[in-house]
Amino acid sequence: MGLTRAIGLDVVAEMIVPLARAVPATLIGSGKVGEITSAASALEPEIIIVNAQLSPVQQRNLERAWRSKVLDRTALILEIFGERARTREGRLQVELAHLTWQRSRLVRSWTHLERQRGGFGFLGGPGETQIETDRRLIGDRLAKIRRELEGVKRTRGLQRKARKRVPFPVIALVGYTNAGKSTLFNALTKADVLAKDVLFATLDPTMRGLRLPGGTKAVLSDTVGFIADLPHELVAAFRATLEEVLEADIVAHVRDAAHTETEAQKGDVLKVLAELGVQPGRDRPFVE
């Protein structure tokens, strides 16, 4: 529900579907597919979201059965990222993730949906791009994006070298999405980074100077929030941004201790950090 609210969708119904084993053709059993078909006929939703990862075949079969556009968890997160990214770098990273995901599917866009949205066309309407229909064009575009991101990576490398000449320690804020990283960042640095009670409010990295109580200067870095089952396409695409975490002298894990799933969220954050090659507490100081 949090993901759907983050993209501003109006949820008209929800259903928990027990899954003893995945069905290759539709993920869920035929009985539940039929039950949802009946519900969809009455409600006529524009989109049905499955909180799981669907194969291209499963997505196509469910769309045929339910006569509605179907999004899986990965597609929904990509759509949120597409709408949130503000800087050129952020847009490039999201487009890279989107095209990498889309290339495996090459599903023609549903242009009959009348509502035009931001993002990258999963929820789009008339005029949305058809780049995903042509594998060669996708490959060309991916190569161009990777070249441009390499330029970003080089620029970041030069900036890091410049910072090391004036060796202030770098503190990277990490944590689950919507845990309060940007709010803390603003409080400590007097910055005005967007801080909202929504998932993935921060996609573009921000760094600010910070004077510690002892008088020492430091650099504080705000980073993109993590989430359970973060699509590997996004981890790969945002590696350039997350390199700030790799280079940080201290990793500060911001947790929402009042959240009912705070321990599970901590596990998800540590898992993503491990995927990035960060070993909190072993290769650098780690504080919560």
- DSSP per-residue letters across 130-158: -GGG-HHHHHHHHHHHHHHHHHHHHHHHH
Strands (E), the chain: 47-50, 69-72, 170-175, 206-211, 217-222, 250-254, 286-287
Closest by CA to 202, choosing from 191, 217, 214, 210, is 191
- Between 54-58, 202-206, 280-284, the lowest mean confidence (pLDDT) is in 202-206
Q: Provide the mean pLDDT of the chain.
A: 79
Total residue length of the chain: 288
Tell me the C-alpha distance between 239 and 131, whole Å. 24
Whole-prediction pTM: 0.66
Q: ∠ CA 108-113-115 to the nearest 5 degrees?
A: 130
| Closest listed residue to residue 55, CA positions, set 94, 28, 30 | 28
Q: Which of 19-23, 62-66, 72-76, 224-228 has the highest mean pLDDT?
A: 62-66
Mean pLDDT of 270-274: 85
Which amino acid is located at 28 in the chain? Answer: I
Residue 134 pLDDT exceeds 70: no
Question: In the prediction, which pLDDT does 144 show?
Answer: 92
Residue 79's pLDDT is 84
Summarize pLDDT for 210-229 with one digit per residue, the tens. Answer: 888 888 888 888 877 777 77
Q: Which two tokens stand for residue 242?
A: 């997350």
Least confident of 35-49, 62-76, 101-115: 101-115
Tell how strand 217-222 and strand 250-254 pair up: unpaired
CA dist 200 and 82 (Å) reads 11
Average pLDDT value for residue range 57-75? 91
CATH class given for the domain over 2-136: alpha beta
For the chain, the helix, strand and coil percentages under 3-state DSSP, each to the nearest 5: 45, 15, 40
- Number of CB atoms found within 10 A of residue 242's CB: 23
Q: What pLDDT, on a 0 to 100 scale, did the predictor assign at position 233?
A: 65
What is the predicted pLDDT for the residue at 258?
Answer: 93
% of the chain beyond a pLDDT of 70: 78
Question: What is the predicted pLDDT for the residue at 115?
Answer: 40
One fold for 2-136 and 168-287: yes
Does residue 183 surpass a pLDDT of 80?
A: yes
Residue range 168-287, CATH number:
3.40.50.300
Banded model confidence at residue 112, pLDDT cuts 50, 70, 90? very low
Q: Which position has the higher pLDDT, 58 or 99? A: 58
**Of 202, 284, 204, nearest to 249 (Cα)?**
284
Does residue 123 contact residue 113 with C-beta atoms inside 8 Å? Answer: yes
Q: Counting runs of H as helices and runs of E as strands, what totals does the chain give?
A: 10, 7
Quick one: what percent of the chain has pLDDT higher than 90? Answer: 22
Q: What Å distances lie between residue 92 and 102, 104, 115, 127, 281, CA to CA?
A: 15, 19, 24, 20, 32
Residue 236 burial (10 A CB sphere; 0-12, 13-18, 19+): middle
Domain extent listing, the chain: 2-136, 168-287
d(CA 235, CA 173): 17
Mean pLDDT of 52-64: 91
